[in-house]
């Protein structure tokens, strides 16, 4: 997964994600996603598998060389419960407007043959979704509010199973557009007032016993920069000779720490190591040298003195560099951050 974040003085930023699943383990769920069940029945079985490279074009001849295998996301459970909607939600803070393009392939299903994208997800019972149906030969928009389906809008479309297709969704305010294989089919305006969903998460969606694959997903969205990223940006501006700076925190209670802010936004979401875990658990300070740089990992405390994050300060090393003088250089950076943070919730505030 690749992230780019446009820099600027404003806390609002345009972010882009490309989900390739290249670093995820085969036959395991992808990192940074959470499987939930909307409706009734068995949970979804979401895994990374290998499949032929997605393409919208058939081979020119039977003798054409086979396509290379690559990682794709698959929903493999075949529970036929009719009101069953497996969801795989991207575990990032909610956002508003976006453009998403994904390749999908409907593989099988006796009861249903569907694949889609859910967006503005508030929880497993409240969200919008746009899905393609091979059996129904249509592309449709639905609104799920409190577990009840509403406001269906459909357009006829041939969606043969066993082939890769491209779905593009654009969401701006209360207006949504969807294109299938480059052909725009849906234009929706949600006029429901207070029931209109203004922001939320995004995720992959299937129904009933449908087996479907997803690949090459690109997401551009309007993100608000979390306060942790502001802390990093301000520190790098004040200490421009730093080689790097990262803040690690657990995404949920009991979870391992991950990068929530960094001078290199490609590092966002990366797992922390023993040094970060020790900083959070015991307020331990760690030192090491990696590729010619001195790395100091320190705890970041809240107003009550409790460790709520780990800060890794990366500096150019020099002859005679010791742990003591590296810590002395790094400590003021973290102290300035602590003066601006009251609680762990502040780090994620936008």
Encode pLDDT of 169-195 as tens digits. Answer: 999 999 999 999 999 999 999 988 777
Final residue of a domain: which of 193, 224, 255? 224
- Counted domains in the chain: 2
- Are both 190 and 235 inside the same structural domain? no
Q: List the CATH number of the domain containing 44.
A: 2.60.120.560
- Are both 96 and 214 inside the same structural domain? yes
- Are both 59 and 146 inside the same structural domain? yes
pLDDT band at 2 (very low <50, low <70, confident <90, very high): very low
- Are both 119 and 33 inside the same structural domain? yes
pLDDT attached to residue 266: 83
Final residue of a domain: which of 224, 245, 272? 224
How far, in whole angstroms, is CA 39 from its chain's centroid? 23
At 289, give phi and psi (nearest 5°).
-115, 125
- Are both 186 and 84 inside the same structural domain? yes
Q: List the CATH number of the domain containing 296.
A: 3.30.450.40
The three-class DSSP label of residue 278 is: helix
Cβ–Cβ < 8 Å for 314, 239: no
Final residue of a domain: which of 172, 193, 224? 224
How far, in whole angstroms, is CA 302 from its chain's centroid? 27
pLDDT attached to residue 252: 77
- Are both 341 and 328 inside the same structural domain? yes
**Bigger pLDDT: 141 or 230?**
141
The rounded radius of gyration (Å) of the Cα atoms in the chain is 23
Cβ–Cβ < 8 Å for 118, 101: no
pLDDT attached to residue 66: 61
- Are both 249 and 334 inside the same structural domain? yes
- Are both 277 and 208 inside the same structural domain? no
- Are both 191 and 263 inside the same structural domain? no
- Are both 196 and 255 inside the same structural domain? no
Cβ–Cβ < 8 Å for 220, 16: yes
pLDDT attached to residue 147: 92
Domain housing 83: 2-224
C-alpha dihedral (200, 202, 204, 209), degrees to nearest 10? 0
- Are both 241 and 210 inside the same structural domain? no
CA 136/CA 292 separation, integer angstroms:
60
For residue 1, pLDDT over 70 is answered with: no
CA 173/CA 255 separation, integer angstroms:
34
pLDDT (average), residues 132-145: 97
pLDDT band at 55 (very low <50, low <70, confident <90, very high): low
pLDDT band at 5 (very low <50, low <70, confident <90, very high): very low
pLDDT attached to residue 60: 53
Cβ–Cβ < 8 Å for 233, 247: no
- Are both 143 and 214 inside the same structural domain? yes
> Which of 60-64, 203-207, 267-271, 301-305 bottoms out in mean pLDDT, i.e. has the lowest?
60-64
Residues contacting 307, CB < 8 A, separation 6+: 279, 280, 281, 283, 299, 300, 301
pTM above 0.85, yes or no: no
């Amino acid at each position: 997964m690749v992230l780019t974040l446009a820099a600027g003085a404003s806390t609002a930023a345009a972010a882009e994600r490309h989900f390739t699943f290249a670093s995820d383990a085969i036959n395991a769920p992808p990192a940074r996603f959470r499987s939930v069940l909307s409706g009734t029945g068995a949970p979804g079985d979401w895994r990374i598998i290998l499949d032929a490279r997605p393409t919208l074009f058939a081979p020119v001849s039977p003798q054409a060389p086979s396509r290379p295998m690559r990682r794709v996301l698959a929903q493999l459970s075949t529970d036929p419960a009719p009101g069953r909607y497996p969801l795989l939600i991207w575990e990032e803070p909610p956002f508003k407007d976006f453009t998403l393009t994904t390749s999908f392939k409907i593989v099988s299903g006796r009861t249903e043959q569907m694949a889609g994208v859910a967006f503005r997800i508030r929880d497993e019972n409240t969200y919008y979704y746009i899905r393609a149906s091979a059996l129904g030969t249509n592309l449709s928009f639905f609104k799920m509010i409190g577990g009840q389906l509403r406001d269906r809008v459909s357009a006829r479309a041939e969606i043969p199973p066993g082939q890769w297709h491209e779905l593009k969704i654009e969401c701006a305010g209360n207006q949504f557009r969807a294109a299938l294989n480059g052909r725009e089919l849906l234009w929706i305006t949600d006029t429901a007032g207070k029931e209109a969903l203004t922001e939320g998460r995004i995720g992959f969606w299937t129904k009933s016993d449908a087996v479907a694959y997803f690949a090459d997903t690109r997401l551009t969205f309007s993100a608000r920069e979390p306060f942790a990223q502001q802390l990093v940006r301000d520190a790098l501006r004040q200490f421009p000779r730093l080689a790097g700076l990262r803040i690690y925190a657990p995404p949920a209670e009991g979870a391992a720490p991950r990068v929530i802010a960094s001078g290199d936004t490609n590092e966002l979401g990366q797992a922390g190591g023993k040094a970060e875990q020790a900083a959070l658990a015991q307020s331990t300070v760690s030192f090491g040298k990696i590729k010619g740089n001195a790395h100091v990992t320190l705890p970041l405390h809240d107003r009550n003195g409790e460790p709520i994050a780990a800060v890794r300060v990366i500096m150019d090393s020099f002859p005679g560099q010791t742990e003591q003088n590296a810590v002395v250089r790094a400590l003021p950076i973290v102290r300035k951050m602590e003066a601006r943070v009251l609680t762990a919730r502040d780090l994620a505030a936008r």
